[in-house]
Amino acid sequence: MIKKVIIVLIFSISSIAKVSAQQDPQFSQYMLNTLYYNPGFAGVEGVTKLTALHRSQWLGYQPSIGNGGAPTTQIISMTTPIFKLNSGFGAYILNDKLGPQTNQEVQATYAYHLALKDSKLSFGIRAGMYSQTLNFDLYRAINPDDPLLKASGKESQIRPDVSMGVFYRKEKYYVGISFNHLVKSTFDFGVSQRSPLKNHVYLTGGYYYDVNFDLRFQFTGLVQSDLTKTSVSVGAIGYFKDKVWAGLSFRQAESATLLLGYSLVKDKSVKLGYAIDYVIQDQQAKQATSHELVLTYELPVNPGGGKKVVRTPRYRH
């Protein structure tokens, strides 16, 4: 039944897909950054994990006139279980620079975990602050009499932000759906309301296939939509002894991505991932490649901290 629901959701959202820019940043290694997309993911893995990710979009891009440069994004996140409360906690800090505009978030997440035989259903809520900063000196005025562009220097505003999500996980597969920017805050830079936060819907899913004890594959998918514009990503990654991995991912009508990764220490608690996107559409308006680095660290398990953690080749729970 769960698998049928997943398929119906994916095809329902994909059928209205139109790919174009959205307010929220995009990540090629979304499967390693699930907390950002779904607050229900907090604590689901049963370990405390720290993640740091940097993305350089269209590396080397420069506007034809003036400054601004290529978009860049950084996110630092953590997630941890709270065994005594059958729940989890998560938080992240995000910085997203888009030319003259910079978006910053500070978010905290709580998720309640409901055990269902050999699976886990998690309900999460996220609340925090969303900041926009405009550098008026980087704008090029088409209409010199525009009162907004007569301003100079930088101006910042902070607004509240709320998201909710549900995440379901079994040994072989997982699926989640979340709703972002439920408050729909608006930003007023002294002239008029500008760039209200749009509601976003995220659908994530994945399936694991074990070839043998040493080799397994992960098939992943991400659908992201602001209800008028939709982007679909699909990918496949092969893991060898959970030590090294490589894979391919495709973002609908935009780019193809090569994914690589390596576990840096013996206990595999520190992992480094790299992704390179190659733009396959509208190259004339962009640089051909985007690059992404992610570093994760799983803290040692405290034997007296509650529920015993069982290590498997796939995940812990």
Asked if residue 317 is part of any domain, the answer here is no
How many domains does the chain contain in total? 1
Asked if residue 306 is part of any domain, the answer here is no
Asked if residue 161 is part of any domain, the answer here is yes
Mean pLDDT within 26-34: 94
Q: Higher pLDDT residue, 177 or 148? A: 177
Asked if residue 314 is part of any domain, the answer here is no
Structure confidence at residue 15 as a pLDDT band (50, 70, 90): very low
Q: For the chain, what percent of residues have pLDDT higher than 90?
A: 58
pLDDT higher than threshold 50 for residue 313: no
- The predicted structure's pLDDT at residue 147: 63
pLDDT higher than threshold 60 for residue 8: no
Domain that holds residue 104: 2-298
Q: Which amino acid is at 267?
A: D
Structure confidence at residue 282 as a pLDDT band (50, 70, 90): low
Asked if residue 315 is part of any domain, the answer here is no
* Chain segment 105-132, per-residue pLDDT in tens: 999 999 999 999 889 999 999 999 999 9
173: domain CATH number?
2.40.160.40
Asked if residue 316 is part of any domain, the answer here is no
Neighbours of 158 (CB within 10 A): 14
- The predicted structure's pLDDT at residue 308: 47
* Chain segment 158-211, per-residue pLDDT in tens: 999 999 999 999 989 999 999 999 988 888 876 555 667 889 999 999 999 999
